[in-house]
Structure 1
Amino acid sequence: MKTTLKESDKVAVPVIIALSIAVPVIVLVLMLLPERYNIFGADAITFPLFHGLLNFLTAILLIIGFFFMKAEKYIQHRNTMIAAFGLSVIFLLSYVLSKISNEPVPYGGEGVLRYVYFFILITHIVLSGIIVPLVLFTMYRGLSGQYDKHAKIARWTFPIWLYVAITGVLVFLFMMPYY
């Protein structure tokens, strides 16, 4: 059994590392596009509203999954976390489409709220890059039955992923008047 897991690590680990590098690079490149192509003809608020909803639902699923794990309902925990991961993948694909489709919208707030917004935004962006490999390794370790490794990394993944999901909603709420 252990040989099989080590063999699967030879494939999974490089794939996870490659995705962890590629995803932030792709997002950065798309943010710097000189021209946008509104493929779906979507209003400026359409994608952010969808992203806020996905982040909200992801946060709810993460919390539910945490309680399933604490209650030792591991199948429900696994299914809930897979659903949270699925929503995050949908978010990422939609986010890429939004960067291709819509110009960035500047934040128009002033005073203390401006500082609060930028603190939330900057921490959200930094941790969004960090969460990609954490989630991928946590999911891989859990789904491949490496539960000790899964538990060790999940202790870090859960609070960061939850923070990213919640701050994603907050960023949307701060930006909503400017779309």
Structure 2
Amino acid sequence: MENSAIEKKYNVWIAVLSIAIPVVVAILFFVKLKDFGFDVKPLTFLPPIYATINGITAVVLLLAFWAIKNKKVQLHQNLMKTAIALSVAFLGMYVAYHMTSESTKYGGEGTMRLVYFLILITHIILSIIIIPLVLISYVRALAQRFDRHRKIARITFPIWLYVAITGVIVYLMISPYYIQ
């Protein structure tokens, strides 16, 4: 299959996933399993785990950047697949937590409250934007369209890194307010 045909083959999936994932996450954020008669315990142990996964994702992204800058292509590819897998694991745990637990309200005041919400809002917006960017970057690499891959990866990398790092920061800022 020609390289541009590979890209075209995946474009529909990229569009579908880029819309479906945020919509489904938004819906599931408000769906509680107990409301449907499921007797499930709140998965309150998950936030520190998925925050750690965000931190590991940031480290993996930095290592992948280092690898490609040092022409370690296979290592870069493996690290990027790992970063994607970590992000999928994060998403699954995040949804599971919110489907079994009440949302935690931030309890800080003053300037810290403003800082928290600024970080949270940018984190949420960019976490939606990063979905198609990661998928397009991955497909372009898969199609061996490395000129096009590099162009979008220059945009994708800093946004994905920001989302991963701010995920940890948001967790650290709200963690004192979690109900155990």
**TM-score band w.r.t. shorter chain:** over 0.9
- Report the equivalent of 1:16: 14
* CA apart distance, 1:43: 4.6
Aligned residues: 175
Is 1:147 the equivalent of 2:180?
A: no
Secondary structure at 1:41's aligned position in 2? coil
- Report the equivalent of 2:169: 170
* CA apart distance, 1:4: 2.1
- Give the alignment of 1:112-123 within 5 angstroms: 112-123=111-122
Contact 2:43/2:96 (<8 A) preserved = no
In the superposition, the TM-score normalised over structure 1's length comes to 0.92
Contact 2:106/2:174 (<8 A) preserved = yes
CA distance in 2, matches of 1:152, 1:55: 24
* CA apart distance, 1:20: 0.2
Secondary structure at 2:2's aligned position in 1? helix
Which one of 3, 25, 28 corresponds to residue 27 of structure 1? 25
CA distance in 1, matches of 2:39, 2:96: 8
Structure 1 stretches of 5 or more lacking a match?
none
- Report the equivalent of 1:59: 58
- Report the equivalent of 1:41: 41
Secondary structure at 1:106's aligned position in 2? coil
* CA apart distance, 1:111: 1.3
Deviation string for 1:41-95 (max 9, x for gaps)?
A: 2453x12111101100000000000001111111111111111111001111111
CA distance in 2, matches of 1:55, 1:47: 12
* CA apart distance, 1:100: 1.1
- Report the equivalent of 1:69: 68
CA distance in 2, matches of 1:50, 1:168: 12
Contact 1:39/1:101 (<8 A) preserved = no
- Report the equivalent of 1:100: 99
Deviation string for 1:88-120 (max 9, x for gaps)?
A: 011111112122111111000111110110000
Contact 1:51/1:91 (<8 A) preserved = yes
Is 1:160 the equivalent of 2:148?
A: no
Output the aligned Cα RMSD.
1.5
Q: Which stretch shifts more, 135-144 or 160-169?
A: 135-144
Kindly provide the amino acid, as one letter, of the partner of residue 26 in structure 1: V
